[in-house]
Amino acid sequence: MFLKKQRHIKETTVIWYNDGACNRSYDLGDIPIKEEVIIQKSIDFFSDPDPCYIHRGAVVVRLNEEVIRAIKDCPKEKVEATDIEESILNSIALEHITALKIEYQER
């Protein structure tokens, strides 16, 4: 009888470019992080060299936020890899990244 008003939800995707071509896209929060970086950050944050899924998840969320913040802080729509801090770029488990972009889509 009474229907809920449908809301438009913005989906956020991070687009990775390799040599100018769109290579991959990931949902926000699903950016792949290198295993050795997860372990090192788990040691730094929690003194845990063998992180449980809770510590692992917390580290991945924090590193994803760092990547997203680095992209958003740049005034350009498409951010060149050279504009991103090297430690953040090196934490991403993808090779040969030349640029990144955040794209918002309504669903």
Which tokens go with 70?
């680095």
pLDDT tens readout for residues 54-92 = 999 999 999 999 988 888 888 888 888 888 899 988 999
Hey, where are the domains in the chain?
A: 20-106
Residue 10, strand partner residues: 106
Is the per-residue pLDDT at 29 higher than 90? Answer: no
Q: 49 to each of 41, 60, 65, 72, how far by Cα in Å?
A: 9, 15, 22, 31
Structure pTM?
Answer: 0.77
